[in-house]
Amino acid sequence: MELTAQIGGSVTDGLAYLGSLASLSSRAAYFTFVAPFRGKPLRFRQAVSQAMQAGVRALPILSLITFFIGLILALQSAYELRKFGAITFVANAVAISMTRELGPLITAIVVIGRSGSAFAAEIGTMRVTEEIDALETMAIHPVDFLVAPKFLAMVVMLPCLTIWANSMGILGGALFGVTRAGFFFSRYAHASLDALFLRDIVTGLIKSVVFGITIAAVGCHEGLSTGTGPEEVGRRTTRAVVVSIFLVILVDLVFTALFFFIGGG
Amino acid sequence: MQISARRLDKTTIFDVTGDVDLATSPELRKALLHELRDARIPRVILNLKAVRYMDSSGVASLVEGLKVSRDSGAKLILYGLTPSVREVLQLSKLLKIFEIYENEEQAISP
Amino acid sequence: MEPRVDSSLQHEAMISLRNLRVNYGEREILHGLSFEVVRGETLVILGGSGSGKSTLLRALVGLERPSSGEIWVKGKNLAVVSDAEMNEIRKRIGMSFQGGALFGSMTVGENVALPLREHTKLEEPTIEIIVRLKLDQVGLAGFETYLPSQLSGGMRKRAAVARAMAMDPEILFFDEPSAGLDPIIAAGVDELILELKKAFHMTIVVVTHELASAFLIADRMVLIDKGNIVAIGSKEEMRSSTHPRVRQFLDRIAESEVLEEADYLQMLTEDHPRKRNSMTKRGGA
């Protein structure tokens, strides 16, 4: 009894949490897509500066990480493939796992670490210093002012970063291909492109858009839910990172399964 | 707020009535800047006898008009200040900066 | 002294509370407050920490919804207004927060300009002149390009007042204007409140626990304790009050010396009402 009650409790808590994320996302979507047609200008400048912060500044670290991931993928798949004398399929293995899975996922995780946590910390601090209250007493909606630009930036930047991450991963694989599997660079690149279907790239990008929404929703929701006291900000920031990683992987699973069943792989 | 213009020789007189507030002051600003900057009228006179209330945006519009008039060598003159308008200008320390007269004859004569 | 309602005809009530109750969860913070704020007066809400005075202020600006009772501001009852109506009311009031609550990523000028840029169709040059007028009125002329972090505590508070005044509000609210400031700077802020009242005939509501400041700026005072009105009246009425709670507060007698023996025993032994709430709240990751 006790256990079932506990499980039931956590399930309803979890659903309630997802519900509040959905409501925050829909309000952000309203302020991004509907309100501009009702005479409330879109906060384009803020969105651009958020996109710079979340996207462009993430490039160096993201490039390095995905380059290594590509290299690791090549090493791991070569380990198996060489038993079958199929080491030239390394290019295919790296290209497909990067674009369909690891590119979007690693990008999301890097962005969670850099931006999801920053959203929670920024908005949480504004809660503590009464800046959110100040917005409300000035009749400015905090979702409109703070959350919507972050959503827009995330939805636009994550796919862009993912494309970059895919390329860097393939480049990492090429390092192995050229030095250890006897590829010329141009042939490796060709083999990678031949292995990919448009579908692979598109499914990865669809996922990355949903990841972007998830990261923005969790980061902003945790920030807005911050109570009083500076120690709350730290707790909420940590929570934002943990919950985002969990939800991104959950979303990944759902979409991968979806693509598997509707696309036959 | 309503503005109507009377155009004399080298002088425009605006008769302003009602409240000059956040919603209406852009209209006053536009009228002032048009006469002073675009039409280059050398003297613009504002009749404020019927202004019941003026807020900061109204004051700011007058200040901008004054700045433009000084830049272009024109004159911006106010007359017929109601006690409430006088007080608003006083609080903004602007009473001594504007050229202010009691009535229309005084405003036109110099 | 009983709470009384000012009913003389020439006094127009800007705010009027009727039996206001506010809850946090299951705990009732304000137990049915009724009073009025008259146009042009400075009303000081006085109380110790935990008295409910901050909650009262938050309710007055619409940050907390009453659980019952009415708050009438500009002919609208805040307890039942729609979001859109609330926003219209909020454009006519200004609030200066305890720590200033200026936006750290914006300059002082941008902070003051924000409500104007959000809610009006004024042109940029007009907004810039208004910003300079407002900053001059709070004694911060020339500081529009500074970031809040580059200002001292007292200056930040002044900048917050300028932002609160940006839209020429009819009512100005202050939360603990002298908190966290040294006495000289705090006196400067009191001075500013007096000047604003004199110059703009603004209706001002101040929440504070500072007696000296309260007696300097108030026309009338409300003393709040444990979510109830203890006394309401002019400065003189407060000074001459014989109500034990008023005396305790004004003479700064420590809480423990005033508690009855029975109350003291109860205080030591009663169940803490907040304990259960905070336990359940702190679950989760």
- Sorted by where each begins, the domain ranges of chain C are 100-169
Alpha carbons within 13 A on the beta-carbon side of A226: 33
Q: Is C104 helix (H, G, I), strand (E, B) or coil?
A: coil
What residue numbers bound the domain in which B99 lies?
2-108
Within 10 angstroms of residue C281's Cβ, the number of other Cβ atoms is 11
Tell me which residue in A126, A131, A139 faces C87 most closely, judged by beta carbons: A139
CA terminus-to-terminus distance, chain A: 41
* Mutation target among C49, C89, C97, C165 for the A interface, most CBs of A within 10 A: C97
Q: For chain A, say whether C277 makes contact (Cβ under 8 Å).
A: no
Within 10 angstroms of residue C13's Cβ, the number of other Cβ atoms is 17
Strand spans (E) along chain C: 13-24, 27-38, 42-46, 68-73, 76-77, 93-96, 171-175, 203-208, 220-225, 228-234
What angle (nearest 5°) sits at the alpha carbon of residue C268, between those of residues C263 and A232? 115
Using CA atoms, how far apart are residues B2 and B28, in angstroms rounded to an integer?
9
Rounded to a whole number, what is the distance in Å from the CA of C87 to chain A's nearest CA?
5
Strands lying side by side in the sheet with C13-24: C27-38, C13-24, C68-73, C76-77
Using one digit for the tens of pLDDT, what is the confidence trace for C229-252?
999 999 999 988 888 888 888 887
Using CA atoms, how far apart are residues C95 and C176, in angstroms rounded to an integer?
11
Q: For chain B, say whether C120 makes contact (Cβ under 8 Å).
A: yes
CA nearest neighbour of C207 among C185, C232, C179: C179
Within 10 angstroms of residue A44's Cβ, the number of other Cβ atoms is 11
Q: C with B: 3 or more CB pairs under 8 Å?
A: yes
**Does residue C3 carry a pLDDT above 50?**
no
Domain ranges of chain A: 17-263
Listed by number, the residues of chain C in 130-169 with a beta carbon closer than 8 Å to a beta carbon of chain B are 130, 133-134, 136-137, 166-168
pLDDT band, very low/low/confident/very high, at C253 (cuts 50, 70, 90): low
Using one digit for the tens of pLDDT, what is the confidence trace for C78-109?
999 999 999 999 999 999 999 899 999 999 99
The tally of domains found in chain B comes to: 1
The residue in chain A having the minimum alpha-carbon distance to the alpha carbon of residue C166 is A138
Tokens representing C113 are: 């300009």
Residues of A in contact with C104 (CB under 8 A): 131
Supply the pLDDT for residue C5. Answer: 46
Listed by number, the residues of chain B in 28-57 with a beta carbon closer than 8 Å to a beta carbon of chain C are 29, 55-57
B57–C126 CB contact, under 8 Å: yes
Cβ–Cβ under 8 Å, residues A259 and A205: no
Tell me which residue in C121, C134, C166 faces B26 most closely, judged by beta carbons: C121
Supply the pLDDT for residue C93. Answer: 95
Pairing of strands C42-46, C203-208: parallel
Interface pTM (ipTM) of the complex? 0.93
Within 10 angstroms of residue A36's Cβ, the number of other Cβ atoms is 13
Query: What does pLDDT average to over chain C?
Result: 87
pLDDT in tens, chain B (110 residues): 899 999 988 899 999 999 999 999 999 999 999 999 999 999 999 999 999 999 999 999 999 999 999 998 999 999 999 998 998 898 888 999 999 999 988 988 86
Residue B47, domain CATH: 3.30.750.24
Q: A with B: 3 or more CB pairs under 8 Å?
A: no
Cβ–Cβ under 8 Å, residues C267 and C41: no
Using one digit for the tens of pLDDT, what is the confidence trace for A29-50?
998 888 877 766 667 888 889 8
The residue in chain C having the minimum alpha-carbon distance to the alpha carbon of residue B88 is C200
Residues 6+ apart with CB under 8 A from C89: C62, C73, C74, C76, C78, C81
Q: What average pLDDT values come out for chain A (265 residues) when binned by 10 residues?
A: 84 92 92 78 82 91 97 94 89 93 96 96 94 95 93 95 96 93 90 90 94 97 90 95 97 93 70
